[in-house]
Amino acid sequence: MPTHAKFAMPKPVRITGRSSSITNSFVNGIIPVIWPTEAQIEEALLVLGMDTVVCAYCGDGATEWDHFRPLVVAQKPTGYISEIHNLVPACGKCNQSKGNRHWRDWMLSSARLSPTTRGVVDIEVRMARLSDFESWGTPTKVDFEALVGAELWEMHWRNHQAILDLMRTAEMTAETMRQRVAESRSVVEPPVPVSLS
Query: Taking the model in full, what pTM does it have?
Result: 0.79
SS3 for 195? Answer: coil
Residues contacting 36, CB < 8 A, separation 6+: 44, 83, 84
**Is residue 196's pLDDT more than 60?**
no
Per 3-state DSSP, what percentage of the chain is helix, strand, and coil (rounded to 5)? 50, 10, 40
Instruction: Tell whether the model's pLDDT for residue 190 goes beyond 60.
Output: no
Classify 23 as helix, strand or coil. helix
Yes or no: say if 117 and 111 are a contact pair by the CB < 8 Å rule.
Answer: yes
pLDDT digits (tens, 9 = 90+) for 106-151: 999 999 999 999 999 999 999 999 999 999 989 999 999 999 999 9
Return d(Cα 63, Cα 43) in angstroms, integer. Answer: 19
> pLDDT per residue over 162-173, tens digit each?
999 999 999 999
**Pairing state between β 64-67 and 72-73:** unpaired
Class of residue 30 by CB neighbours under 10 A (exposed 0-12, middle 13-18, buried 19+): middle
CB 130 within 8 A of CB 88: yes
Mean pLDDT of 7-25: 86
**Which helix (H) or strand (E) is 90 found in, with range?**
strand 87-90
